Structure 1
């Protein structure tokens, strides 16, 4: 069976490990998975290039080169939520960037790990006029990821499925990142898929967390400190456009023409999928 000696993680805070803090540092699902890739007693070389706040252009323009230099046999590419939270969101650009990232990693011999993610509006419980535009964007990102996963034969997780999104025990106080239990669940799910391909030779990570789960007080504290800072950072960039999108939602809803917005998003997605380079 093929053994993995080098595993590289690309992406944003989801892959950086936010929500799974150990010894004052983020650990995350990637590090947990790396432990289960051991071939005998030999540890897998693991590098986490993911950075909180990263968008598709950060992965394509910065993280990709660093990953290729490491010549990994296994590379994860999970990114896109931060793109949906920007006024500059462009599904065509995102598709072309991720296509190039996947093509170059796969061309260098790496098996790819990918995942579709839940939309942040739903996870945060935003009101429908605010949540629906974000949901459209995340559905488009997930559709691109699905297409690329098939093209490059990636190991893919459907993390937008109800089994993931409806289990609050998997998520941290911020509702956007997995907690330790969630990171362990992601690592375990990837481990099972990799084992089926003969790429995971070690024991799967334990599903049981080592740290106590976040309390209600933790959630309140996050909202009062880091959560407030997160909102402030996003307001200057996203909020004006999101309010405009919400106003459009309300206008179309009142006129009974909400399907127009869905059709427009589908048209943009179709154009993006058709424009992706062919292998």
Structure 2
């Protein structure tokens, strides 16, 4: 019997960071999902191409060719947060790259999985003036992902909503990656969508973790060790621009014109989508298969 092939593209979220496999490697939501895609008598070949720190350009240039050579039946593309954390952030480029990646996979009949994600500023608990520009960037990326998912008929998971940010049991010590329970909920959300569309025929991933939730002490240990290096790298790359964006935020707040920033961001999303190759090619969007995760999924 021919195996079902699943390729996972993206960054550290899909690589599995935060969900240790017990052998010094990461497992993650994609591996959990792979185990439930097919019944026991159908083999599943899972190829995780995701790399920590990857941006949309890395997915397009490095991961997509490997995925196309693998010829997957199902492929996930979850990426974009790292783009928002760079001073080189360019929404037009992000949209164009994702449109190309989605189109290359979808044109081969691959079932495409996508997701919207929480903004990193909220996860890290940054002060409002610093968090708002990052949140605006992530909302813009999420809007692009949602629109392009509809255009390409993707199976789309809304993972940026609800109480995800506040629920500490979902997040690892670094507050940026899901803990085991968070990864399990992502896998279960995707599985529910695929099962509803007749693509997943195996058992749904369990949502309860095998190990304990991360503690506050673990979070402080991470910040005192690996976290300091991460913060230093991001500060060097992003902080000067983020401070300028925060100053702009404060100026608009004092003038009572904060809504102008949101309008400008919305116009930027529309312009970025209009400039994508898929938009220029025309054609009707395929139906979007999506779900907004309900509270019962997290139980």
TM-score by length of 2: 0.89
Aligned mates of 1:43, 1:176 — CA distance in 2 = 33
The aligned residue for residue 166 of structure 1 is 166
Secondary structure of 1:9 counterpart:
strand
Secondary structure of 1:6 counterpart:
strand
Secondary structure of 2:164 counterpart:
helix
Secondary structure of 1:162 counterpart:
coil
1:91 equivalent to 2:85? Answer no
Q: Write out per-residue CA displacement over residues 108-139 of structure 1, whole angstroms, 9 at most, x where no aligned residue.
A: 12100000001111111111110110011001
Unpaired stretches in structure 1, ≥5 consecutive residues:
none
The aligned residue for residue 111 of structure 1 is 111
Aligned mates of 1:146, 1:174 — CA distance in 2 = 27
* Structure 1 residues 125 and 173: alpha-carbon distance in aligned structure 2, compared to 1, 3 A threshold: same
1:29 equivalent to 2:29? Answer yes
The aligned residue for residue 47 of structure 1 is 47
Deviation of 1:252 after TM superposition, in Å, equals 1.7
Aligned mates of 1:222, 1:216 — CA distance in 2 = 10
Aligned mates of 1:231, 1:61 — CA distance in 2 = 27
Aligned mates of 2:8, 2:185 — CA distance in 1 = 17
1:121 equivalent to 2:117? Answer no
- Mean alpha-carbon deviation: is it higher for 33-42 or for 237-246? 33-42
Deviation of 1:4 after TM superposition, in Å, equals 6.8
Aligned mates of 2:86, 2:225 — CA distance in 1 = 22
The aligned residue for residue 5 of structure 2 is 6
Aligned mates of 2:163, 2:246 — CA distance in 1 = 29
Deviation of 1:220 after TM superposition, in Å, equals 0.9
- Mean alpha-carbon deviation: is it higher for 268-277 or for 162-171? 162-171
1:224 equivalent to 2:224? Answer yes
1:205 equivalent to 2:197? Answer no
Assess if the C-alpha contact under 8 Å between 2:3 and 2:42 holds in 1. Answer: no
Secondary structure of 2:182 counterpart:
helix
Secondary structure of 1:147 counterpart:
helix
Unpaired stretches in structure 2, ≥5 consecutive residues:
284-299
Assess if the C-alpha contact under 8 Å between 1:4 and 1:74 holds in 2. Answer: no
Number of equivalences: 277
Aligned mates of 1:4, 1:139 — CA distance in 2 = 37
Assess if the C-alpha contact under 8 Å between 1:29 and 1:184 holds in 2. Answer: yes
The aligned residue for residue 67 of structure 2 is 67
The aligned residue for residue 297 of structure 2 is none
Assess if the C-alpha contact under 8 Å between 2:3 and 2:43 holds in 1. Answer: no
Assess if the C-alpha contact under 8 Å between 1:4 and 1:37 holds in 2. Answer: no
Aligned mates of 2:214, 2:159 — CA distance in 1 = 21
